[in-house]
Structure 1
């Protein structure tokens, strides 16, 4: 069973938020606003924020830039995870992943099933790791972003969460690159 271990100190991480949309502007990005509100309320730092069109090459380039930024530990994207022709966020994520976190998509689907039933099968939400940075591709709806944050990410991005969490293994994500 999950729990917060109050004997451990909270460790804030730097989180970047990227919205993907051909139609919205940053001023209209309600899902991005929700994620920024949630991550800062949890005690984390907003490290960067942007919006891009649904273009695989542009998304991949932005992800690579942020992965290279030592102030960014986590990248959250919102939008472009569906099944239509313009939905290319998942492909852009997988272009940069070193390792995919397969269970993230599974757990997100389980959470979504409780809220929207079988419509959850239309999401391709995913997570992975690249260059010592966590990346999570979330659907564009505010409800889906709320569910992903409130039910999964708020816990996994809290160092105090037991039995384990993403923050405690963050320093080890690139241990394979160290010289022996």
Structure 2
């Protein structure tokens, strides 16, 4: 059985995608928060992008990161609600090789403390595509903070016990001897 954690921190390469029809680099508080939070714990930011809420533009950006040999984690903020323009789940789900069902369930459970039953309108989700871990969270900065602090940060930390996703991602095997 492969080891599911290590005592050493392994910095991962993370790309951040903001899905929004109104955000730009100056007012992307959620994307900026995530980039700072990821960097502050020692991971590397490969790229931060903003795309309009369009299934094909989302898939295009994601596909390039999934296919590259560098990006190990993608965090998407925005487009997870139920308005006409919210299309992140529809764009992302067909790209998954495996879903991480527990992520959306846990996100909504934790979110209940902040927003009550309105949490059922969050379509937060996660999955793996080409050994790239993808998290989709709502676009509010508070939702990003909660998702990062309470779930994502530990699940991409190679030291988190009893298990984490870090050792399952592309380009980790040669460093840790757990994947080939």
Could you tell me the TM-score, scaled by structure 2's length? 0.90
Structure 1: distance between partners of 2:18 and 2:83: 17
Contact 1:74 1:133 in 2 (8 A): yes
Deviation at 1:171, TM superposition (A): 5.0
Cα root mean square deviation, aligned? 1.8
Structure 1: distance between partners of 2:103 and 2:90: 16
Question: Residue in 2 aligned with 1:47?
Answer: 46
Structure 2: distance between partners of 1:130 and 1:173: 15
Question: Residue in 1 aligned with 2:92?
Answer: 93
Task: Give the secondary structure class of the aligned counterpart of 1:47.
Answer: strand
Question: Residue in 2 aligned with 1:61?
Answer: 60
Question: Residue in 2 aligned with 1:73?
Answer: 72
Structure 2: distance between partners of 1:72 and 1:90: 20
Could you tell me the TM-score, scaled by structure 1's length? 0.90
Contact 2:69 2:170 in 1 (8 A): no
Query: Can you list the C-alpha shifts for 1:11-40, whole angstroms capped at 9, x where unaligned?
Result: 010000000111111221000011011100
Question: Residue in 1 aligned with 2:178?
Answer: none
Quick check: 87-96 or 162-171, which moved more?
Answer: 162-171
Which runs of no fewer than 5 residues in structure 1 stay unpaired? 175-180
Question: Residue in 2 aligned with 1:30?
Answer: 29
Count of residue pairs the alignment pairs up? 169
Contact 2:155 2:166 in 1 (8 A): yes
Structure 2: distance between partners of 1:51 and 1:23: 10
Deviation at 1:172, TM superposition (A): 9.6
Question: Residue in 2 aligned with 1:153?
Answer: 152
Structure 1: distance between partners of 2:172 and 2:91: 20
Question: Residue in 2 aligned with 1:177?
Answer: none
Contact 1:132 1:173 in 2 (8 A): no
Distance 1:173 1:89, change over 3 A: farther
